[in-house]
């Protein structure tokens, strides 16, 4: 997507409060990807992405910034915790699996885009199959009068189908029998994945029968969508586009990278942490990873690493790995003002979500400004007294205040409930004052 860094930052301002340095750094990194694609091919291969290291406590918006951008720009994005790779051989996964996950994400993304492009054709195919069940085709030797009558019936039925009048009518449809479950387990070694794929193909070839189901027309439209999509979509084109997008636009968010740092002072560190860093190196530097969709080059995938770095420091990472994250950005802890703005100035804020949820029960929620300020104040206090979990504390604080209202919503149909400062204080004062209680409840 052709957006300037300023436009990218403006978009992020609707969802994330503050953190301007981080927004600016990521906006530039993404703009440089667009610039790279428009450079002459010879030089394009030489321009490597500038990977980013984000330093900041939990709940300050590290993941949200990266996720929002990837979604906005239609780029494949996955988030992985670096710490889980330390358990390989027990319950962990090999580091290359993150690339395979990215490709699957890319396939899903591109498939949806292709489906949207031919949405009308897919709908047309589904309707055609349903009408054929309702109005069976005429035999070859039918008379002109019969043909005329058939066309009239067909058109009338099509009209009813499109208007939704037939949604509850039951019909019998045929859908392919699933002979295997598609296991998308990217942690499997490549040779095992290939073996499993061959087995799936063999089972699929042995049993191509269809099963009959009696369902409502409304459900038939859903069940037949996959069949129609498979028939109309160009799977090869999807694969080629998905691999290209994963290689040139993929973003991998490596969270908790501080958990695999090994400081020289700590001699009792888990040796597997350094092993994970060494495994990460070739992938971040640029290598080829084998997937079921072909070989994926990781040279131009953008890696965004993030961590709180409370115990360790970025300098505790291997020097080679540090060098692969040249852009460093520190995120600010959230103060009372920032938390207040998160509740009032962001699109789809928590307060808006709670209002919408209770509207379903016909209960109108209204938050007084003083109550919103109290939410921010109590969240900051709870963060100071217990663990600092940033904006996530707002979830627990607000939930505690409106818990009873939400629980009794069925009895309060048609009411307007005002959340006042007094109510917030009544619900939270005792909890916040007692540090032990606050630690367990908030």
Condensed to tens digits (0 to 9), the pLDDT of residues 29-88 reads 888 888 888 889 888 888 888 899 999 888 888 888 888 888 888 889 999 888 777 655
Answer yes or no: are the C-beta atoms of 307 and 256 closer than 8 Å: yes
State both tokens at 207: 């049993």
Residue 227 has pLDDT above 60, yes or no: yes
Range ranked top by mean pLDDT from 116-120, 180-184, 365-369 = 365-369
DSSP codes of every residue in 14-33: TT--S-HHHHHHHHHHHHHH
Out of 22-31, 74-83, 164-173, least confident range: 164-173
* 123 pLDDT tier (thresholds 50, 70, 90): confident
Residue 20 has pLDDT above 50, yes or no: yes
* 433/4: higher pLDDT: 4
State both tokens at 51: 């990977």
Residue 366 has pLDDT above 80, yes or no: yes
Amino acid 91: pLDDT: 44
Residue 131 has pLDDT above 70, yes or no: yes
CB atoms within 10 A of CB 159: 10
List the 327-330 sheet strands across, edge first. 77-81, 251-255, 302-307, 52-55, 327-330
| Residue range 5-110+242-330, CATH number | 3.40.50.300
Alpha-carbon torsion, ordered 316, 321, 325, 330, to 10 deg: -20
- Mean pLDDT, the chain, rounded, equals 82
* 181 pLDDT tier (thresholds 50, 70, 90): very low
Choosing among 3.30.470.20, 1.10.8.60, 3.30.390.50, 3.40.630.40, the CATH entry for 336-432 is 1.10.8.60
Condensed to tens digits (0 to 9), the pLDDT of residues 239-282 reads 999 999 999 889 999 988 888 887 655 545 566 778 888 888 88
- Helix, strand, or coil here: 301? coil
Amino acid 195: pLDDT: 61
- Helix, strand, or coil here: 81? strand
Domain ranges of the chain: 5-110+242-330, 119-232, 336-432
- Helix, strand, or coil here: 286? coil
Amino acid 351: pLDDT: 93
Same fold, 5-110+242-330 and 336-432: no
DSSP codes of every residue in 371-438: HHHHHHHHHHHHHHHS---TTHHHHHHHHHHHHHHHHTGGGGTT-EEEE-HHHHHHHHHHHHHSHHHH
Residue 179 has pLDDT above 50, yes or no: no
Average confidence (pLDDT) over 321-342: 89
Q: What is the 3-state secondary structure (H, E, C) of 207-238?
A: CCCEEEEEEEHHHHHHHHHHHHHHHHCCHHHH
């Amino acid at each position: 997507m052709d957006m300037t860094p300023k436009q990218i930052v403006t978009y992020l301002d609707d969802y994330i409060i503050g953190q301007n340095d981080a927004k600016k750094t990521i906006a530039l990194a993404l703009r440089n990807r667009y610039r790279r694609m428009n450079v002459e091919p010879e030089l394009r291969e030489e321009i490597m992405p500038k990977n980013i290291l984000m330093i900041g406590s939990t709940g300050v918006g590290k993941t949200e910034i990266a996720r929002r951008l990837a979604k906005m720009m239609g780029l494949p994005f996955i988030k992985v915790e670096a710490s889980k790779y330390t358990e390989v051989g027990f319950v962990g996964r090999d580091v290359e699996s993150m690339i395979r996950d990215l490709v699957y994400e890319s396939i899903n993304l591109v498939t949806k885009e292709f489906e949207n492009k031919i949405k009308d054709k897919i709908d047309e195919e589904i309707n055609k199959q349903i009408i054929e069940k309702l109005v069976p085709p005429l035999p070859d030797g039918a008379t002109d009068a019969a043909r005329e009558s058939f066309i009239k019936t067909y058109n009338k039925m099509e009209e009813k189908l499109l208007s939704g009048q037939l949604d509850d009518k039951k019909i019998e449809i045929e859908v392919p029998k699933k002979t295997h479950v598609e296991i998308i387990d990217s942690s499997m070694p490549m040779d095992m994945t290939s073996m499993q794929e061959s087995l799936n193909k063999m089972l699929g070839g042995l049993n191509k029968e269809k099963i009959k189901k009696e369902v409502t027309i409304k459900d038939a439209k859903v069940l037949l969508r996959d069949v129609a999509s498979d028939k109309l979509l160009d799977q090869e084109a999807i694969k080629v586009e998905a691999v290209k997008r994963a290689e040139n636009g993929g973003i991998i968010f490596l969270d908790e990278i501080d958990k695999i740092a090994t400081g020289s002072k700590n001699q009792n560190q888990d040796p597997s942490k350094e092993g994970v860093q060494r495994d990460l190196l070739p992938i971040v530097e640029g290598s080829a990873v084998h997937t079921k969709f072909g070989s994926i080059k990781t040279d131009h995938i953008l890696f965004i690493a993030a961590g709180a770095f409370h115990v360790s420091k970025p300098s505790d990472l291997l020097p080679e790995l540090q060098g692969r994250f040249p852009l460093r950005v520190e995120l600010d802890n959230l103060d009372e003002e920032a938390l207040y703005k998160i509740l009032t100035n962001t699109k789809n804020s928590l307060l808006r979500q709670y209002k919408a949820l209770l509207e379903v029960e016909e209960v109108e929620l209204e938050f007084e400004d003083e109550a919103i300020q109290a939410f921010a104040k109590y969240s900051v206090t709870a963060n100071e007294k217990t663990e600092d979990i940033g904006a996530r504390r707002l979830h627990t604080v607000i939930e505690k205040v409106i818990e009873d209202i939400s629980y009794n919503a069925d009895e309060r149909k048609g009411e307007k409930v005002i959340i006042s400062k007094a109510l917030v204080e009544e619900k939270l004062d005792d909890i916040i004052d007692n540090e032990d209680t606050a630690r367990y409840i908030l």
